[in-house]
Amino acid sequence: MALLLALLAAVLFLAYTNGANDNFKGVATLFGSRTAGYGRVLTWATVTTFAGSLTAVGLSQGLINAFSGEGLVPAAVTAQPAFLLAVGLGAALTVFLATVTGFPISTTHALTGALVGAGLVQAGSVDFTRLGQSFFLPLAVSPVLGFALTSVLYPIFRLARANLGIERQMCLCVDGGQMQPIRIRPDGAAVLQATGMKLSVGQLQECVQRYEGRVIGIDAQRMLDRLHHLSAGAVSFARGLNDTPKIVALLLAARGLGLHPSTGMVAVGIAMAVGGLLNARKVAVTMSQRITSMNHGQGFTANLVTSCLVTTASTFGLPVSTTHVSCGSLFGLGAVNGTARWGVIRTIALSWLATLPLAAGLGAAVAWGARLF
């Protein structure tokens, strides 16, 4: 019973760290493009992610089977609480270390690494052929797809905007929350279009880019803001749909715990929500500000690509990483708009490479400890 309780605690800790590292990824573009403030977008991410967690109850059997270790190690091992504890705690510690240092890594990647490490200790072998086909291939391909689709789709959207006569305009938020257009004088000075007041360097840094024009009689900026919020909610929903069953799988596979799938989904969903609300700030800054600058349309495009890819993968039971897809989309966005910070991107990519061996080592260490005690 003590081992089962330890397993339950480890899985809830994993869900908490998953929320802290992943919860903001769906809404990072809302914050990065200044469409909405931190508190508002974090609340939106929490609500939509939890909705995805609840929806996962009926659509998750493929992911539950994959992340219980089924097919990777002998069936007798996958039901052992000690093996499942090693997987859960190894992955949780990996994601926790990434969260406190501000790196957006993949819980899916961490779970895969921990499965390998714990499997080698508990079973003595792992089916690496299945591992490569069912885990590594989707994990490797998904960020490339995100990069490619965003790189192609945003120029198409930009051309469509130009053909509709929608123009980009720089604005400054003044007293009362009103957005005032800015124009550049022949001498290079930026002034408020309405009053001619010259702006300081500090004020210019607070300027935001907005869209001026109407589509089918609707203000273009208002329409885009609504679509941007919907796309961000779709990414968060897809993340809850994809991540929750992977974590719950560790509880459902254990002999003697007797947990109903819907109860596990709700418990994990709540822990993910709490983690996101309390510890998302560092990863939020990395995702929304350090990878690339973005405007409203660019952020919407990245979210649209991410939500479509992750939802499709969840439907087919493919273990893709929302982190890899969303970051890949942002990398593609930075490449297209010319503001990619390649040093930051390189560091994030290195953290992804380190995730698997770190999680495998921690999973193996916990497995050895469980065998000793």
Residues 188 and 99 placed together within one structural domain of the fold: no
CB contact at 8 A, 330 and 302: yes
Same domain? For 201 and 246 the reply is: no
Residues 26 and 157 both lie in one domain: yes
Interatomic CA distance for residues 50 and 272, integer angstroms: 8
Residues 112 and 154 in one domain: yes
Considering the entire predicted model, what is its pTM?
A: 0.81
User: Using one digit for the tens of pLDDT, what is the confidence trace for 41-77?
Assistant: 999 999 999 998 888 765 555 555 555 555 667 767 7
Kindly state the percentage of the chain with pLDDT values over 90.
36
Which of these, 114, 24, 22, lies nearest to 322 by C-alpha position? Answer: 22
Tell me, what's the pLDDT at 163? 85
Output 101 or 254, whichever has higher pLDDT: 101
CA 191/CA 193 separation, integer angstroms: 6
175 has pLDDT over 60: no
Q: Give the SS3 label for residue 280.
A: coil
Q: Is the pLDDT of residue 158 over 80?
A: yes
The number of folded domains in the chain is 2
| Mean per-residue pLDDT, 198-206 | 55
Rounded to a whole number, what is the distance in angstroms from the first to the last CA of the chain?
14
Of all residues in the chain, the percent with pLDDT exceeding 70 is 80
Kindly tell me if the per-residue pLDDT of 326 is higher than 80. yes
Give the model's confidence band at 91: pLDDT under 50 very low, under 70 low, under 90 confident, else very high.
Answer: very high
- Residue 338: inside a domain, yes or no? yes
pLDDT recorded at residue 357: 93
Q: Provide the pLDDT confidence category of residue 233 given band limits of 50, 70 and 90.
A: very high
220 within a domain of the structure (yes/no):
no
pLDDT band at 209 (very low <50, low <70, confident <90, very high): low
What is the residue whose two structure tokens read 């002999």? 255
Which contiguous run of DSSP H or E holds residue 299? helix 296-315
Same domain, 156 and 116: yes
Q: Residue 305 pLDDT > 90, yes or no?
A: yes
Give the pLDDT band (50/70/90) at residue 194. low
- 207 with 299, same domain: the answer is no
Q: Which residue has the higher pLDDT, 319 or 51?
A: 51
Question: When comparing pLDDT for 126 and 304, which is higher?
Answer: 304
Q: Enter the tokens of residue 362.
A: 């921690």
205 and 293 assigned to the same domain: no
pLDDT class of 172 with cuts at 50, 70, 90: very low
Mean model confidence pLDDT for the chain: 82
125 or 278: which carries more pLDDT confidence? Answer: 278
Residue matched to tokens 């039901």: 79
Q: What is the CA angle 198-202-203, rounded to 5?
A: 50
Question: Could you tell me if 205 and 240 lie in one domain?
Answer: no
Q: Are residues 207 and 271 in the same domain?
A: no
Using the 3D structure, point to which of 178, 212, 246 is the last residue of a domain. Answer: 212
CB 231 within 8 A of CB 303: yes
What the block records as the tokens of 96 is: 């926790």
> Are residues 31 and 155 part of one domain?
yes
The residue range of the domain holding 280 is 2-161+225-372
The values of phi and psi at residue 209, to 5°, are: -95, 130
Q: What is the dihedral of CA 212, 305, 105, 279, to 10 degrees?
A: 50
Mean pLDDT of 336-340: 90
pLDDT band at 249 (very low <50, low <70, confident <90, very high): confident
Residues 35 and 146 in one domain: yes
To the nearest 10°, the Cα dihedral for 250, 253, 258, 260? 70
Tokens of 238: 């897809």
